[in-house]
Amino acid sequence: MNLSATGAAFIWLLVFVYSIFGAIDFGSSYWRWHFHLRGNWRAESVALTYVSPTWELINSFLVVIPVALVGLFPQAALAYGTVLALPATLLLILLALRGGYLQFGYASERFRKQTIYIAGITGLLLPGVFISLLPLSQGGYITHVNANYQLLIGAFFTSPVVYLFMAFGIFLSLYLSALFLARYADLGGLGTAYQRFRKGALWTGPISLVLGIFAFSTPTPDGLSLLAPSSISLLWRVAMALSLAAFIISYSLLLFRRRKPKANRTSLWILLLTIGQIVTAQFGYALSHAPYILYPYLTFTKAASNSSMFRATLLVLIVGLLVMTPALLWFRRLFIIDAKYVATHTSEPH
């Protein structure tokens, strides 16, 4: 594997990890808002128990991705830094609103209701805004004139493909977060909350699958077609088949599962299979998108920094992640897989 391919794999890994944690975090804020409006206090409390210690950590992890992009693929960072000025501004506004209200909402009871609403709405919209980068990278919305990249704002914001991707991102976030919170509730022995999240996953799962199929099979105008014969290989077919199989198995387990006391292995397998579904789907997308980081202007090889800078940046990033890993595992043990923590921190608000 050459340097650019190694860097591309590393960027893909960072994006994948953030997409999983971010989807669960944003979706959990929505489910808290959803169940607050319906008076399902126990389910709301489960979502709050997860979001409270994790949202700031997940946002901090987001910083690593642009740093890695600048160090490894500076030409791509320059291009995206130009064309994403408007979409990134919208993204930062949503992140700032959510982060600000979560911070003040936990510090003062006065802002509690506003926090629930703002965090819920922004948590619903953010996955869609993030995933809009995918059709943008497939081409058709960017011009390159005199070494300057420009976003065709009208074409981008009126494209049905962009909104199809955004809808897919939103429903996938809701599905994944509902499965995670169902597992979270099951871990704490909270049967009623488990059933609430299970029902949420049952209706969002098929919608996310259908939207995903349409989003990835619809080419962007004058852009990259992910189903073009040149993009389809045997490895791509295997990845897509595994992704579909993982969804069918996990959804079947979710559909026919009957919860029993302390029987929380099934909810774990459902969640792991769904993550496996996303891994294989993202891998298939990467295969069909390769070797372009921005179609048709930049490949990973063309966008990479010089070999010395590339190796140094990659080494620093890997060492940094290795240093962070024990702390992340400790955090996971304290707040994510501790059944006692889940059970004792979920209660009906007065």
Decide if 192 is inside a domain: yes
Quick one: pLDDT at residue 349?
Answer: 46
Decide if 280 is inside a domain: yes
- Whether the pLDDT of residue 261 is over 50: the answer is no
**Averaged pLDDT of the chain:** 85
Of residues 211 and 59, more confidence is placed in 211
Q: Look at 85-99, 308-322, 332-346 and tell me which has the smallest mean pLDDT.
A: 332-346
Q: What is the mean pLDDT of residues 36-54?
A: 81
SS3 for the chain is CCHHHHHHHHHHHHHHHHHHHHHHHHHHHHHHHHHHHCCCHHHHHHHHHHHHHHHHHHHHHHCHHHHHHHHHCHHHHHHHHHHCHHHHHHHHHHHHHHHHHHHHHHHCHHHHHHHHHHHHHHHHHHHHHHHCHHHHHCCCCEEEECCEEEECHHHHHCCHHHHHHHHHHHHHHHHHHHHHHHHHHHHCCCHHHHHHHHHHHHHHHHHHHHHHHHHHHCCCCCCCCCCCCCCCCHHHHHHHHHHHHHHHHHHHHHHHCCCCCCCCHHHHHHHHHHHHHHHHHHHHHHHHHCCEEECCCEEHHHHCCCHHHHHHHHHHHHHHHHHHHHHHHHHHHHHCCCHHHHHHCCCCCC
- Whether the pLDDT of residue 348 is over 50: the answer is no
Quick one: pLDDT at residue 336?
Answer: 63
Decide if 349 is inside a domain: no
Nearest to 70 by CA among 313, 323, 324, 321: 313
Q: What is the mean pLDDT of residues 11-24?
A: 88
- Whether the pLDDT of residue 331 is over 70: the answer is no
Of residues 77 and 336, more confidence is placed in 77
Q: Do residues 91 and 61 make contact, with C-beta atoms less than 8 angstroms apart?
A: no
Identify the top-confidence range among 125-134, 319-328, 332-341: 125-134
Of residues 83 and 208, more confidence is placed in 208
Domain that holds residue 171: 22-344
Decide if 66 is inside a domain: yes
Quick one: pLDDT at residue 41?
Answer: 81
Decide if 32 is inside a domain: yes
Decide if 198 is inside a domain: yes
pLDDT tens digit sequence for 284-308: 998 888 888 988 889 998 999 888 8
Distance (Å, whole) CA 13 – CA 322:
14
Decide if 181 is inside a domain: yes
Quick one: pLDDT at residue 350?
Answer: 40
Work out the pLDDT band at 244, boundaries 50, 70, 90.
very high
- Whether the pLDDT of residue 166 is over 80: the answer is yes
Please give the tally of structural domains in the chain.
Answer: 1
Decide if 4 is inside a domain: no
Q: Look at 6-10, 58-62, 257-261 and tell me which has the smallest mean pLDDT.
A: 257-261
Q: Crossing angle, helix 234-256 and helix 265-289, to 10 degrees? A: 160
